[in-house]
């Protein structure tokens, strides 16, 4: 499964009620302003469920958009390190939108939502809309037997080719997530292991 990074603009949004989709499927980075010395109990309790997948980054210095620039830096760095990663910026600040448009033009999966639960709701609803695609992918993989893709990158390319290369990164993320949830595949360090039933 592709890595999903969630970058929270904590000056702008303070998550409270969060339902964990599945352990290890999301890496959350909470960006805290220089003047934000405390995190509300409700927020801390909600994010605690993510365990080591949550990282708090307190910025230094002040200035307009200082925190936004930190988020932009981390998106760029992580996109270079993990090309298949998807990014979800949690902020009400529309100033991120031109950056997101540029990232998408470069083939980087990135979106902005106004709340943390929206990320998981969108992903879940998209999975439910694709049962026919999932069935087609499973049938195709079953036919391939020993010729199945061995890396996540190749699997994504294979799935995209199956649908005429018409899928975007979000579509591919959703299909990979559904295959993983069905226990048809297991992805470890970019390698794909198949658990398809005959």
With 80 as the cut, is the pLDDT of residue 62 above it?
Answer: no
Which sequence spans correspond to the domains of the chain? Answer: 4-114, 129-194
Which of 9-13, 32-36, 89-93 tops mean pLDDT?
89-93
Query: Nearest-CA neighbor of 167 among 178, 156, 177, 151?
Result: 156
Q: pLDDT tens digits, residue range 18-55? A: 655 555 668 889 999 888 878 888 778 777 777 888 89
Are 6 and 116 in contact, with CB atoms under 8 Å apart?
yes
Q: Which CATH class is domain 4-114?
A: alpha beta
- Regarding predicted confidence, which is higher, 63 or 186? 186
- Tens digits of residue pLDDT in 161-191: 998 888 877 778 788 878 887 788 888 877 8
- pLDDT > 90: what percent of the chain? 24
pLDDT > 90? residue 119: no
What's residue 127's pLDDT? 44
Q: Residue 77 pLDDT > 50, yes or no?
A: yes
Question: Residue 123's pLDDT is what?
Answer: 45
Instruction: Give the DSSP per-residue string, 6-37.
Output: EEEETTT---------STTSEEEEEEE-TT--
Output the pLDDT for position 31: 92
- Spatial CA neighbour of 14 closest among 51, 42, 34: 42
Between strands 191-194 and 185-188, the pairing is: antiparallel
Asked if residue 156 lies in contact with residue 176, where contact means CB atoms within 8 angstroms, the answer is: yes
The set of residues, in sequence order, having a beta carbon less than 8 Å from that of 122 and lying 6+ positions away, is 113
The whole-model pTM stands at: 0.60
Q: Is 125 or 98 the better-scoring residue by pLDDT? A: 98
Mean pLDDT, range 123-143, rounded to an integer: 73
Which tens digit of pLDDT belongs to each residue from 108-118?
889 998 877 66
Q: What is the mean pLDDT of the chain?
A: 82
């Amino acid at each position: 499964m592709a890595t999903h990074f969630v970058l929270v603009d904590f000056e702008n949004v303070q998550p409270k009620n969060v339902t964990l989709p599945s352990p290890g499927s999301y890496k959350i980075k909470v960006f805290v302003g220089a003047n934000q010395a405390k995190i509300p109990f409700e927020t801390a309790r909600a994010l605690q469920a993510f365990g080591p997948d949550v990282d708090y980054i307190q910025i230094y210095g002040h200035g307009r958009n200082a925190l936004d620039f930190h988020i932009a830096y981390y998106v760029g760095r992580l996109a270079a390190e993990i090309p298949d990663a998807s990014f979800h910026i949690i902020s009400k600040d529309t100033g991120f939108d031109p950056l997101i448009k540029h990232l998408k033009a470069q083939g980087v999966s990135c979106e902005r939502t106004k709340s943390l639960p929206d990320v998981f709701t969108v992903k879940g609803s998209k999975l439910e809309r694709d049962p026919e695609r999932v069935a087609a992918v499973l049938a195709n993989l079953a036919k391939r037997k020993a010729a199945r893709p061995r890396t996540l990158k190749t699997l994504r390319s294979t799935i995209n080719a199956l649908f005429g290369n018409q899928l975007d990164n979000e579509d591919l993320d959703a299909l990979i997530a559904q295959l993983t949830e069905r226990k048809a595949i297991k992805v470890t360090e970019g390698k794909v292991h198949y658990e398809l039933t005959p």
